[in-house]
Structure 1
Amino acid sequence: MSPLRRTPLYPVYSSYPSVRCIDFGGWELPVQYYGMLREHDAVRRQAGLFDVSHMGELLVTGEGALAFLQRITTNDVSRLTDGRAQYSILCAPDGGVVDDLIVYRLASGKYMLVVNSANAAKDFEWLQRHRFGDVRIDDISEDVALLALQGPAAAGIMSQAASAAVLSLPAFHFASDVNVSGTRTLVSRTGYTGEDGFELFVSPAEAPKLWNDLMRAGERRGLIPAGLGARDTLRLEARLPLYGQDMSEDVSPLEAGLGSFVKWDKGEFIGKEALLAQRSAGLPRKLVGIRMIGRGISRSGYGVYASGKRIGVITSGTQSPTLKQNIGLALLDANVAEVGTELQVDIRGKFVAAQVVKTPFYRRTAESTEGGKRS
């Protein structure tokens, strides 16, 4: 059995005596430092700092990089200018999702792809297999550490640690070579929590220093470290999908509710023909939000029923710390996926009442950011 991999920030975990680490896809990562509920609440009210250095980074360069990425992803990469990023999807020819990712345009003919850690090797092989033209693909994951500073106080913390220019970054924009507490950093206005925040790409050797500097800068603003447990409940409240649960090679982006990231008019891309056929015929399934009416928490893999017939499955479920409700995402037959539809979830042999509801379950408002104004 191979030993668990550790991120460059592993040494800082010992600074928190109550930290608890788990095996997460072959990585030894903290599921919590002080407790999931406290960490979740901190991100919603103040700020949390996550170690997400396990994510994969792939560098795509060359004169043919744009044409290649247009072919390999569903979003329109031609819309990007230097310093902008976009959420996108790698599709298989049959329309299934190979992975979801964020594409960063570093310069003309130079892009960084941030992919899910469990899929990094698979994605690299997928890109290499479909590569054409003047394109080079490099896996730079070992050369990059990644921190995520998230929450309404994130901008205030960054104002103490970095230049004011970083604070003016709109969502899905980034700045390279930013001095953050003396550390050279790529700073992106992105995240996976539903809150305002930043993701900071830094060299592995500098990651512990940057972590400690940000923790000191955020001490008076309520910043605490946050682990995988809070990351999962936060993303689910915001209806942000998780690969391997809410989408997969057996679930198309249209079924997963990600059709806005499929750009039909950009030209040919892998999976387009299958997705067009699915759209034309009508979606057989839809990923929807559910709220438990009866007592019980829905979990991934639980069956969903209507009138005694199984009509879907829970893909993600939790007890929402913010809403104080039991919520989930379910992949259902399209004809029973309308908001308001009453269902039953099989929770360990007991059928518990639930209802299809609008998503996201939680949406950040202007008043939820520090100072009452969204950055």
Structure 2
Amino acid sequence: MDAVRILVIDDDQAHREGMVLLLEDEGYQVDEADGAEAAMELINQHQYNLIITDYKMQNIDGMELLKMINDHDPLLKVIMVTGYSSIEHAVEAIHLGALDYIPKPVDPVKLKKVVSRAISVPSMGHEPSAEVGRVPAKYIHFDEIIGKSRVIKNVVKKISQIANIDVPVLVFGESGTGKELVARAIHNASNRAEATFVAVNTGAISKELIISELFGHEKGAFTGAVLSKKGKFEEADNGTLFLDEISTMSEQVQIALLRVLENQQIERVGSNRTIPVNVRVVAATNENLETLISDGKFREDLFYRLNVYYIELPPLRERKEDILLIADYFIERFNAEFGKNIKSIDDDAAVLLENYLWLGNVRELRNIILRAMVSAKDTIKKKDLPDTLIKG
């Protein structure tokens, strides 16, 4: 196994050399640079597993360097060393493109822990099965998020960056773009991964039942409540709760959710007893919440509580280079699930798939591939696709 190679960047020689010695003692191969220009020269010459850079440097600071690194390779892992230790400044560093952060003065134990965690973040390159020949040798496959486009690489990088910073996340995207997949990926890459992931589509639950569904109820709390029941917050204790379609929440539910985010406590319907919960919330919407705030339909204070970190999912039509990769992924998956042996998509069918608008996004692509595989023999052809694709 090749040695892990790390680049340490700091214009303070004593501070830089101290980190280098600590990391070398851990068995890492470490290079060093005293500024952004020297760092980029080394990055262009070598393959690094991890970059550690100071936030405050003369000439070109850490923020500008992060932009340069992202332009060079958006998947390169970067840890920011910052003079701030609050969650707010940690999130700011993450927004700049860092995978994690270390507060100053650097604690040796903290440095070793953060570096070890960063190195162990799952690789985002995937070597696919040779059975589906159209897929290139390397592409992004993080949980079930797949693609080679820059926009999806940036989404995956954001997931990796925020996973272990225990704050709420707001995911925006059209229906079918994979918002729940993003929430699951955040959970699976976080320190909460061993606990429960609970998903709730708040738009699919009646206004009369949503409070009980989220917060639970006691026996006799309302007609039909013959037993006490835990809500989704209690089910997700120590784990992650994914709330989809939050724009549909009533004022009453929004107030209750805000209270939980502020206090980490819930009350079941029919009870005044508070129950402590330790839950990370990932919320999602396909509507512009700021517009809803202006229209008086969504609480501004709740928006700011949820929007600590923001991830926007692009529609499939804006990442056409990913369409065939995702299609091939579904072929592999359905081959295994249903005992099929579809090898590929022919060129005519591929052109139709790439040029279709995909208003239903990845969910629509999944359904069309599944339908095509029913009639296809060993190759999906134009005749296996629905008329909606053929007619454009």
TM (norm. structure 2) is 0.26
Larger relative contact order, structure 1 or 2 (CA cutoff 8 Å, min sep 6): 1
TM (norm. structure 1) is 0.27
| Higher helix fraction (1 or 2) | 2
Considering only CA atoms, is the larger Rg found in Structure 1 or Structure 2? Answer: 2
| Higher strand fraction (1 or 2) | 1
